[in-house]
């Protein structure tokens, strides 16, 4: 169980990152901010930083730019600077949901789970319909090993957003760990129906199918997971499981 929780906690970081806050729904019409948003979409945070720093020299009061700055630092792995950018945005606009969600993500990725949970509870008190907040709270509770609370948070996210693939994976993984294999399988298949390339869904469904003896389909999902970038502990474990399953497959 401890090994499975460790895997789930680390895999959930990738899931949570994909649920990170988008820019403001009413973005400032400045070409530098548009260029920064495009650079972030393309996964080029350093390019985004150059546009944002230039813009903020002229407009230090711009909350939207500071939220984007936090996202750029977070993409670059500079979590301390991301936290500072989000906190400055919140100092200027305490009700900004994207800034608080981004701060929660930075704290979560830094391993400061209690602080992340506190920020998320503040966010959800302000707006109980923030699906991403419920999802990220589920990821925090999951990493803390508080599985019942994690499942409730994922369910809250799914009530608010029916096509939230990451939340299906989160709930499916919790159900898998609880031994509810039918419920877990349904959630993981639903996640893949929404997002067919999601590596975490392939990983957990492959593990589940291996456990119930559906070897050939398990192999397909585990190979699909290995075709995409994955942290080395998961890759090594998945390769070992796949090798074991290949040995168990009936001869052709």
> In this predicted model, what pLDDT tens digit does every residue of 130-185 receive, in sequence order?
999 999 999 999 999 999 999 999 999 999 999 999 999 999 999 999 999 999 99
Residue 26 has a pLDDT of 46
The pLDDT tens digits of the residues spanning 101-116 come to 999 999 999 999 999 9
DSSP states along 137-191: HHHHHHHTT-HHHHHHHHHHHHHH-TT-HHHHHHHHHHHHHHT-HHHHHHHHHHH
Distance (Å, whole) CA 29 – CA 59: 13
Read off the pTM.
0.86
Q: Comparing 69-73, 150-154, 226-230, which segment has the lowest mean pLDDT? A: 226-230
Indicate the Cα dihedral angle 207, 135, 13, 97, nearest 10°: 170
Q: 164-245 adopts what CATH topology? A: 1.25.40
Please choose, from the candidates 49, 81, 46, the residue with its C-alpha nearest in 3D space to the C-alpha of residue 65: 49
Give me the pLDDT at residue 247, please: 77
Say what the pLDDT of residue 4 is.
Answer: 57
Domain definitions of the chain by residue range = 164-245
Position 32 pLDDT exceeds 80: yes
Q: Is the dihedral of CA 173, 179, 181, 182 positive or negative?
A: negative
pLDDT, the chain, mean: 89
In 19-160, which ranges are continuous DSSP H helix? 31-41, 45-58, 63-75, 79-92, 97-109, 113-126, 131-143, 147-160
């Amino acid at each position: 169980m401890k090994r499975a929780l460790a895997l789930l906690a680390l895999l959930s970081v990738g899931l949570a990152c994909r649920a990170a806050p988008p820019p403001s729904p009413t973005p400032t019409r400045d070409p530098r901010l548009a260029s920064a948003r495009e650079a972030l979409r393309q996964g080029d945070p350093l390019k985004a930083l150059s546009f944002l720093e230039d813009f903020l020299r002229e407009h230090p009061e711009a909350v939207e730019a500071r939220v984007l700055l936090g996202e750029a630092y977070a993409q670059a792995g500079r979590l301390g600077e991301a936290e500072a950018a989000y906190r400055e945005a919140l100092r200027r606009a305490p009700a900004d949901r994207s800034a608080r969600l981004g701060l929660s993500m930075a704290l979560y990725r830094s391993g400061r789970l209690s602080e992340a949970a506190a920020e998320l509870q503040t966010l959800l008190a302000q707006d109980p319909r923030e699906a991403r907040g419920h999802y990220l709270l589920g990821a925090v509770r999951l990493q803390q090993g508080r599985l019942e609370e994690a499942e409730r948070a994922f369910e809250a996210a799914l009530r608010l957003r029916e096509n939230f693939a990451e939340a299906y994976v989160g709930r499916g993984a919790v159900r898998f760990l609880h031994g509810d294999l039918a419920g877990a399988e349904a959630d993981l298949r639903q996640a893949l129906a929404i997002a067919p390339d999601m590596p975490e869904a392939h990983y957990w469904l492959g593990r589940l199918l291996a456990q119930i003896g559906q070897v050939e389909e398990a192999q397909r999902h585990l190979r699909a997971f290995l075709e995409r970038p994955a942290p080395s502990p998961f890759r090594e474990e998945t390769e070992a499981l796949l090798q074991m399953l290949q040995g168990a497959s009936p001869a052709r």
